């Protein structure tokens, strides 16, 4: 039997899907500098040093501040077009076939950018990328919990109005401790009534209570992160019964201090408990990762074998909001690629 080091790289040869990816958090330093240069703003050594600091985070609150600062650098539909083009290129090079991408449009509309112009730019860039062999991109509008119920109501209305731009659902990120989930329950019900798919960040910075509320109060279809569920054995049983997928993002959790080390990351325990575990990159530029690197971490840092890593990748497709035929086609392609390359030997 070949040694693991002799096997082809599973992450490199297998086509993939991603379901927890923030558009703003995919803005890499070089693309950001190019965007600033196109506006005639400084791109000298001092400017690069200041901007590079936004990609290093002491803890979760510091990450949120850096994320806001990155968003402030996106100021026009043209910026969104360049950002989306860069994301499509990065995903194509990583053999990502399909991605559900979150973005927080109200941050930008409140700064004066028209929503239609933002989405026209994003949608056109996504279509160009797909035509050139890149992934199919679909979008979820992501609210910010600390902005309150009114903002999420506005977000749901905006998402429903933007279906023509491949907007398929809504989520909510930010500080999980800012407001109780019950305040948003009616808004999530309205989103479902309008046919929007639903997810929410929970069990990342806050504990298992946040995951309980996501499942039983908001009744979401998926949970962003959810790793703190490992602290509650009763909750693990409930997640198994409900079959709610967890959008796990291992490197993100390390970079923000949600977990202290790879050895302590709960994804292995969640998987062993029968939870529906997926793997994603979250904010790949801000965390210096890719989806391929997350796949590699499953094997090299988190104790999974190649068949288990492939199964988690397939679980990600199954948890996506693709139609059944799209899922079947992609899963078949993934399985054949892994087998043909000898990755599972």
Residue 44 lies in a domain: yes
Look at residue 345 and tell me if it is in a domain: no
What confidence tens digit (pLDDT) does each residue in 264-286 have? 999 999 999 999 999 999 999 99
Residue 43 lies in a domain: yes
Q: What domain count does the chain have?
A: 1
Tell me whether residue 90 is in a domain: yes
User: For residue 27, what is the domain's CATH number?
Assistant: 3.20.20.140
- The verdict on residue 161 lying in a domain is yes
Inter-CA distances, 93 with 23, 80, 88, 90, Å: 17, 20, 9, 5
- pTM for this entry: 0.95
Over residues 57-110, the pLDDT tens digits come to 988 889 989 999 999 999 999 999 999 999 999 999 999 999 999 999 999 999
* Residue 195: C-alpha distances to residues 115, 125, 190, 192, 201 (Å): 20, 25, 9, 5, 20
Please check whether residue 239 lies inside any domain of the structure.
Answer: yes
What per-residue confidence (pLDDT) applies to 310? 98
pLDDT at 1 (0 to 100): 40
Instruction: Name the residue range of residue 11's domain.
Output: 4-340
Q: Is 154 a catalytic residue?
A: no
pLDDT of 5 > 80? The answer is: no
Q: Give the whole-angstrom CA distance, residue 256 versus residue 21.
A: 16
* Residue tagged active-site, from 24, 73, 100, 204: 204
pLDDT for the residue 345: 77
Rg (CA), the chain: 19
């Amino acid at each position: 039997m070949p040694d693991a080091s002799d096997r082809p790289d599973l992450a490199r040869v297998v086509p993939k899907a991603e379901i927890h990816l923030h558009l703003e958090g995919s803005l890499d330093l070089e693309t950001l500098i190019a965007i600033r240069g196109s506006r005639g703003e400084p791109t000298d050594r001092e400017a690069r040093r200041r901007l590079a600091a936004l990609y290093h985070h002491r803890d979760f609150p510091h990450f949120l501040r850096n994320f806001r600062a990155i968003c402030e650098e996106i100021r026009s539909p043209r910026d969104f077009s360049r950002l989306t083009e860069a994301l499509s290129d990065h995903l194509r090079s990583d053999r990502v076939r399909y991605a559900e991408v979150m973005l927080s449009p109200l941050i930008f509309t409140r700064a004066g950018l028209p929503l239609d112009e933002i989405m026209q730019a994003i949608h056109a860039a996504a279509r160009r990328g797909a035509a050139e062999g890149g992934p199919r991109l679909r979008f979820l509008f992501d609210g910010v919990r600390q902005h309150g119920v009114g903002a999420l109501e506005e977000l749901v209305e905006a998402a429903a109005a933007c279906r023509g731009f491949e907007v398929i659902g809504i989520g909510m990120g930010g500080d999980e401790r800012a407001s109780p989930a019950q305040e948003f329950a009616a808004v999530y019900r309205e989103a479902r009534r309008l046919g929007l798919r639903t997810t929410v960040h929970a069990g990342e910075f806050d504990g298992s209570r946040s995951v309980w509320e996501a499942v039983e109060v908001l009744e979401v279809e998926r949970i962003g992160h959810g790793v703190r569920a490992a602290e509650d054995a009763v909750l693990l049983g409930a997640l198994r019964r409900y079959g709610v997928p967890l959008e796990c993002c291992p490197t993100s959790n390390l970079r923000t201090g949600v977990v202290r080390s790879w050895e302590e990351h709960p994804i292995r325990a969640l998987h062993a408990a029968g939870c529906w575990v997926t793997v994603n990159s979250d904010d790949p530029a801000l965390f210096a990762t890719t989806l391929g690197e997350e796949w590699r971490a499953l094997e090299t840092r988190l104790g999974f074998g190649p068949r288990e890593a492939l199964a988690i990748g397939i679980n990600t497709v199954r948890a996506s909001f693709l139609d059944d035929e799209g899922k079947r086609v992609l899963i078949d392609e993934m399985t054949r690629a892994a087998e043909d390359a000898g990755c599972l030997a």
